[in-house]
Structure 1
């Protein structure tokens, strides 16, 4: 029988209890540090406090749901105009099967609907934890299907150990294009490129990165004269903003982890082999930084990355309602 318990608006005061419970039972999927949790929830503009709740029983936090929606018409971009996200939904062991998850999800959905959201995605939000529901969580997938969520495509993470890499990372000289790691002062040129070539989420995320203390050094850039024609982000866990492809670094304690992506090339110069070259340059830079494991997240480009020695690792089912 379902147990109706008290729900309150989620605040940073609930984070420690939720994190302890999550890492105790779900740390094998994604161990979440306090810094990462704060970054991806209450510190993120898209965090929706009116639609995020904690379930509390006798002073104990037994579950939580965190929802997001696009924070206004930032940079003139709105993903569909009516989209909300469930960033995080969790019920503590010993309290499952009592309807608490259903209660939390319904309250978040009702609130997002009242704010104009007509579609909700599970994960894949700005500063997401997951790009979908991890495939190994079969019971969770079935549970969400029972709540009306429909299955989409399967996306995945990829991985490669530097010591096992057989790929030649050298890049032939090209008189038209130059591949360089970003330097201080390159930020405006990168933003201009993103405005023109990839307006929307990527522009928002890069601007947010710079606002939080990140620099152009976290990117490899393709230059044609004085114009940026392509970019690839490179991440380390200690960066000012933790990139999504190094969330898994806690699973590789003792190893230096680096993330590659997202990446994009201007439509005017695509099909020139620039995509593979810029990833090679990113691999070079991270290797020189002492990285021992390269990681790529949220992709379907298995054949592309296989050419560079990456193998499929984690998989996720995208779901929406």
Structure 2
């Protein structure tokens, strides 16, 4: 079985090249049904289920999921997640929209717990000057070292994010010398839009509450994208977001919706 070709057949909207697919599958265990489909699991996460159209509605997908559940339960886990927040592949169940039902997973007993969008932006035609984003006088933007001031700003937005900032490059917006907004900058990512060309990302984008609704965060992301373009990135990946209308102001588009689902075992 050529899992990559089967993946491309099942998810044509995902522009992954083979090398990126193999890297993102690293550490996963495969469950196969001949050449009719496969699933990938890691710990208590069902990372991927692929069954091509001509083999669907024959119980193959159900069988793969059941086998995954049995293996995961046999290893002492009492819960299984469809996707997985630590995954470079899907972090949920791919779906047509954030509100779309997932009858296949619902029939198997999985409970919806949320959802998100995955977004992308081509950088070949990107120029931050094309977007008129007014910000207060005194705002500056630059790379910021990971320091107590930055961690305090991140904590003010989401304390769970602080763990992701150590060892990362961070781009910030400052107002009168104080950190107002921040984002993690990645300029050589392996992610769902890695198609063989250099791919960038902006992640954990946040604005300290007292500085919100002043355009600082949006201007920061625009300049961060321009920085990625200047470094040779041809695309920008926006991972795991609910702010799809906000990012759309910069020409970003949703290419994948995901529903978070889990099931007790």
Same fold (TM over 0.5): yes
Instruction: Please give the per-residue CA displacement for 1:193-219, whole angstroms capped at 9, x wherever unaligned.
Output: 58845443x444445xx4xxxx52xx3
Partner SS state of residue 145, structure 1: helix
1:289 maps to 231
Task: Report what 1:168 is aligned to.
Answer: 132
Aligned partner of 2:171 among 217, 220, 224: 220
CA distance in 2, matches of 1:96, 1:112: 24
Could you tell me whether the CA contact under 8 Å between 1:40 and 1:128 is conserved in 2? yes
Is the CA contact 2:39–2:46 (under 8 Å) kept in the aligned structure 1?
A: no
SS of 1:130 mapped into structure 2: coil
CA shift at 1:66, angstroms?
A: 1.6
User: 1:299-310 residue pairs with structure 2 within 5 A?
Assistant: 299-310=241-252
* Cα RMSD for the two superposed structures: 4.2
Query: Do the aligned partners of 1:189 and 1:227 also contact (CA within 8 Å) in 2?
Result: no
Q: Report deviation, 1:265.
A: 3.1
Is the Cα–Cα contact under 8 Å of residues 171 and 281 in structure 1 kept in the other structure? Answer: no
**Residues 170 and 30 from structure 1, CA distance in 2 versus in 1: closer, same or farther, beyond 3 angstroms?**
same
Aligned-pair CA distance for 1:314: 3.3
Name the CA shift for 1:116/1:18 in 2 (closer, same or farther; >3 Å): same
Q: Encode CA deviations 1:218-254: one digit per residue, 9 max, x unaligned.
A: x313457998664212334xx2x42x4xx2242xx7x
**Contact 1:67-1:85 at 8 Å conserved across structures:** yes
8 Å contact kept, 1:257–1:293: yes
TM-score by length of 2: 0.70
Question: What is the rounded CA distance, in whole Å, between the counterparts of 1:170 and 1:288 in structure 2?
Answer: 23
Distance of 2:64 and 2:217 partners within structure 1: 42
Task: Select 2:6's aligned residue among 21, 36, 46.
Answer: 21
Does the C-alpha gap of structure 1 residues 203 and 18 become closer, same or farther in structure 2, counting only changes over 3 Å?
A: farther
Kindly report which structure 2 residues correspond to 1:180-219, keeping only aligned pairs within 5 A, or say none.
180-182=142-144, 186-187=145-146, 192-193=151-152, 196-197=155-156, 198-200=158-160, 202-207=161-166, 210=167, 215-216=168-169, 219=170
1:257-276 to 2 correspondence within 5 Å? Answer: 257-267=199-209, 269-270=211-212, 273-276=215-218
Instruction: Report the Cα offset of residue 126 of structure 1.
Output: 1.0
Determine whether 1:319 maps to 2:264. Answer: no
State the secondary structure of the residue aligned to 1:36.
Answer: helix
- Scaled by the length of structure 1, the TM-score of the pair is 0.60
- Runs of 4+ in structure 1 displaced over 6 angstroms? 224-227
Aligned to 1:85: 45
Residue correspondence of structure 1 range 1-321 to structure 2 within 5 A: 17-23=2-8, 25-43=9-27, 52-55=29-32, 57=34, 62-68=37-43, 84-91=44-51, 96-113=56-73, 117-136=77-96, 141-151=102-112, 153=114, 155-162=116-123, 163=125, 166-168=130-132, 173-174=137-138, 178-182=140-144, 186-187=145-146, 192-193=151-152, 196-197=155-156, 198-200=158-160, 202-207=161-166, 210=167, 215-216=168-169, 219-222=170-173, 230-236=181-187, 239=188, 241-242=189-190, 244=191, 247-250=192-195, 257-267=199-209, 269-270=211-212, 273-291=215-233, 293-321=235-263
Bigger RCO (CA 8 Å, 6+ sep): 2
Q: 1:42 to 1:285 in 2, by over 3 A?
A: same
Specify every segment of 5 or more residues in structure 2 that has no aligned partner in the other structure, as ranges: none
**Aligned partners of 1:161, 1:31: CA distance in 2, in Å?**
13
Shift of the alpha carbon at 1:306?
A: 3.8
Are the aligned partners of 2:133 and 2:218 in contact in 1 as well (CA < 8 Å)?
Answer: no
Aligned length: 257
* Pairwise CA distance, 1:143: 2.0
After TM superposition, give the deviation of residue 302 of structure 1 in Å.
Answer: 3.3
